[in-house]
Chains A and B, each alone.
Chain A
């Protein structure tokens, strides 16, 4: 994603020139001391597991979980490297369908979050400075309670005996329609997904909108733009960086989420996250679980690349 115009820095900013003035070896040592530990951390806990995952996807599953040995004395045991998991993935269309369903769920969650978060973020950004901090605090307040408890709470809200369910079904009955189950349905999953991820959309949007120069709106109005035009021609295009980072923060975790469909989804509502979790904790097929994870990563990268290209075409002012 491109940086916003405001963050556009010229090459060779003061920080660089300063370090040039210092004696070179001392500066280099400082650089290593500062950036070394996080670098090692990322290497150990992100790059290494990633490599292990890729390697594991080309192995056979072990008899009791884990991986089969690379070489074994007994020729009847599974051993060596194989493309079996990938063949399996592409041979059964059910996996592709789960992927597409998951991507649609993530897309729907992202769009609903965006539609709900944008007016909220705009409201906060245009409130007096004093009340802004309080409102931001209220947005992130749900994080203070446990994620699982908040998801379980939706079981009560959406359960068959809940006021909401009775209201909806009473209404449907009045129309002469069959009653519906709110809980254990894709609907319940979507509602909880939106609920859990909404703050991740509000915060980047607010951070972006709050930085907008109010004189731009004055200028637009002065030059003949009505309220609607001021939004679509000034506020909205300037907020695209916020929209993209918020969307990434919602889309990616939703795509891998397994807890919410586990708790609130029906038996048929399996998403990629559940599938992957099942491979590691249920069927104990590590190689196939790794393959699914790699496919998920590729899907996310593809979508991110596509979004970046679209963003690049729209706002090349960065």
Chain B
């Protein structure tokens, strides 16, 4: 039995269906992420789990028990808010001890658990500081300690890294992963930043307009998106209109607009004549000089149209002979020489027969 079961939950605000018949199972100890654009219903689900909002239909079960009649303050579920919501009139220690006090734990217990929690987030020396004396990253860690100190069954995190700058965010991601592994509490994380979701999660539910589009592990979500929405939302993609010509065992033959016929990995629901898009990630597209890449099943000639130098990688936009425009990503592994090709150079593009995917309409 999953630790948290969301069964056919629907939530409407007037005519707007914020959450539309969503079912999810979240396992104990999991780092589970709800990912989607703003307005997709992810925060509404989080608020319903926390108890700030109630479903119009469906059930939310924690350890098999329906939460419908349990008010927010009685649920063994704590939240880390986007704005941290630290109490400004309390010190770090008072903030972190707050849930312990509310749970009427003994002074000795409060003392011990508080000390442990502060150690976990490396804030022991800031115990007597007030929130306004802390940096963004420190506030974040206080909020985490406060959420975890009373050992909730679930910790909900509502875009907790949104307010941090890029460098700090990356550092906090690593801390978050380690912390979750250390305490073993189930994390339900809400974000619209796919990079964050991919880096942190055991599993991700991608949400679109109140519905769950796909639930999967990060690598499968990235490698095998099941819908065009998921493919579009996660990472970057070249997308070209295509039609299946032949469905064979293990591969497909596709007629791709602006490209011609290519070989692509098979999908389970493809039928000959079916329309859709052929999608391939820029890092799967290889770029070489004329005469190279001929060993690949799919290879095409083209001219470099645009070049974006990004430091670690260069992005080449190549216009192919048949009219398609394809992006290829090349890591700048050679020291000193970043750009292997110039705009206007004649180049070869190619990819393996098992790269890319056919997404039906």
Contacts and interface: CB of A to CB of B under 8 A. Distances in A.
A216 interface: yes
A218 interface: yes
A225 B102 contact: yes
A224 B73 contact: yes
A222 B50 contact: yes
A142 interface: no
A141 interface: no
A226 B73 contact: yes
A237 interface: yes
B78 interface: yes
A219 interface: yes
Interface string A221-246: 11111100100011001100000000
A148 B78 CA distance: 56
Nearest to A229: B102
Interface in B45-70: 50-52
Contacts of A218: 52, 79, 81, 85
A107 to B, nearest CB: 26
Contacts of B132: 5, 8, 317
Contacts, number: 68
A315 interface: yes
Query: Interface residue tally of chain B, by bracket?
Result: 20 to 34
Interface range, A side: 20 to 34
Most chain A Cβ neighbours within 10 Å, of B71, B79, B146, B150: B79
Contacts of B168: none
A215 interface: yes
Contact of B83 (A213, A226, A233): A213
A42 to B, nearest CB: 33
A220 interface: yes
B90 A216 contact: no
A224 B89 contact: no
B103 interface: yes
Given A222-B79, A224-B150, A215 B85 contact: yes
Contacts of B99: 223-224
Which 9 residue pairs of A and B lie closest in terms of their CB atoms, listed nearest first?
Answer: A224-B102, A219-B85, A223-B99, A215-B85, A317-B89, A5-B88, A222-B79, A237-B89, A221-B72
Interface of A: 5-6, 8, 213, 215-216, 218-226, 229, 233-234, 237-238, 315, 317
